[in-house]
Amino acid sequence: MKRFALLLVVAAAGGLAYWKWPKAGEAQEPPIERAGPGYLPAGAPTGPPPAPAPPEGFAGIEFATLSAFDYDPEVDNVPDEIRALDGTRVQLVGVMYYGVDDPMRVVEFHLMPNHGICCFGTPRTNEVVRVELRPGLATRYVLDYYVVRGTIDVRAVRDAKGRVLHLYRIRDAEADVLQ
């Protein structure tokens, strides 16, 4: 019978640890602690810097507003005040989800309120914004916060099986690292 190493993620009191289940006869190694404060990767900021004032023609919005309700994809219960943002030019601050094709030339990505939301649980549908940069623009993946400006679409985009892929999209966007 083949023996397989089992990778378990163990929530330790001081943070997330990785644990390799030992094979028969192997010594058990202590868990390897993740670097960084709490659950965040090393170098990740623990909170956003102050957002700049939105430029003229842009409305400043926050994730707290976009995610302030329990979204039900069966009834698409987006509140009217959120639906009214559809087609508006907005500015939003958040972090880039790490799952990008080329970290040195990112042209589309998912924006979230903070690093912890994607690493420890599943973000809710209304806690993620799909960002599509304006043609010809690109940014790079970093752990810092971004300020994103573009036109927001508020509508559930579904796959062939009816699952919601995203509720919010910012298109024709520009994304700058927030210093």
Share of the chain above pLDDT 70, in %: 73
Residue 130 pLDDT > 80? yes
Is 25 found in the same domain as 82?
no
Quote the domain boundaries for residue 30: 1-34
Mean pLDDT of 24-40: 48
Residue 99 sits in a domain whose CATH number is 2.40.50.870
**Domain contains 91:** yes
> Over the stretch 101-113, which tens digit does the pLDDT of each residue have?
888 999 999 999 9
Provide the pLDDT confidence category of residue 132 given band limits of 50, 70 and 90.
very high
Task: State how far the Cα of 59 lies from the Cα of 48, in Å rounded to an integer.
Answer: 18
Kindly state whether residues 74 and 130 are assigned to the same domain: yes
The answer to whether residue 84 is domain-embedded is yes
Flag whether pLDDT at 118 surpasses 80.
no
